[in-house]
Structure 1
Amino acid sequence: MEIGYVILYVADLEASVGFYRDVVGLAYKFTDAGYAEFEAGGVRFGLYERRRAEWLVGAGVTPGAGGEVVVMVPDVDEVFVRLRGAGVDVLSGPADRPWGHRTVHVADPDGFVVEFAEEIPRARQRR
């Protein structure tokens, strides 16, 4: 079993495409019929217009209150400088986490949390 797609339902497809392309830095592939897709390693990352989702899932779709998209990067501090230079509101970080990541958190146009994470030595071992 493997994850093939991660799709977020978004209010404004154009704004979200711009965020994930220009702020996050994912490679944009295409937009078609209310859906946009990005290259994200071995998983397809997509955005779908929330207003179109009802016919797909059979009910209205409301974004969840939690969860996040994690983007692995080689240098979180460099990303932080780029984000601040672009005027992006940083929610937290940069901060070293005991599980072995240095992180920065931002919110996308729909309020989904996006974490940029750099692997660092773990301060706490797993049991």
Structure 2
Amino acid sequence: MPSQLAYSILFVSELEASIAFYRDVIGLPFKFASPSYAEFATQGAKFGLYARGDLPQLIGRAAPAGEVPWPQGEVAFFVDDPDAEHDRLRRAGAHVLAPPTDRPWGERTLHVADPDGNVVELTRPTQTED
């Protein structure tokens, strides 16, 4: 039975634009890139990006034709201060979806959109887990 998340990968339309967003705007340490895949240095589970156009090489078939609904997913990263990140990301030109907000599940979250419209959450716990 699975017990630990190994990695999370977002499928993106323009790999270079997404690398720039996660490296330069979000501030993740860039690790490496190949023609279809990029990875960032995160603690714990790996975080990567994969070129959507190269999906047939990965899974043996193409994505269905037609418009893809927005957003397709969310990725969340722990930060020390969502409010400070909000100010920094606005200055960097990020599309802020929701400003820092205290959530009933015990986190303060900030949501921005990446170049493909995926939701990026920056979060910190507001209460300790029991």
The bucket for the TM-score relative to the shorter chain is 0.7 to 0.9
Instruction: Give the aligned CA root-mean-square deviation in angstroms.
Output: 2.0
TM-score, normalised on structure 2?
A: 0.86
Answer 1 or 2: which has greater strand percent: 1
Task: Return the match for 1:61 from 60, 63, 80.
Answer: 63
Deviation string 1:57-104 (CA, Å, 9 cap, x unpaired) is 122136675431011101011000101111212101211111111111
Residue correspondences, number: 124
Residues 1:45 and 2:51 aligned together: no
Sequence identity (%): 48
What is the alpha-carbon distance in structure 2 between the residues aligned to residue 9 and residue 67 of structure 1? 10
Unaligned runs of 5+ in 1: none
TM-score, normalised on structure 1?
A: 0.88
Question: Alignment partner of 1:40: what SS?
Answer: coil
Residues 1:90 and 2:96 aligned together: yes
Unaligned runs of 5+ in 2: none
1:6 is matched with 8
What is the alpha-carbon distance in structure 1 between the residues aligned to residue 119 and residue 14 of structure 2? 16
1:20 is matched with 22
Question: Alignment partner of 2:41: what SS?
Answer: strand
Which amino acid is 2:103 matched to? R
1:81 is matched with 87
Deviation string 1:10-67 (CA, Å, 9 cap, x unpaired) is 1100000011111111110011131111011111111111111112112213667543
Structure 1 ranges of 4+ moved more than 6 A: none
Q: Is the 8 A contact 2:74 2:121 kept in 1?
A: yes
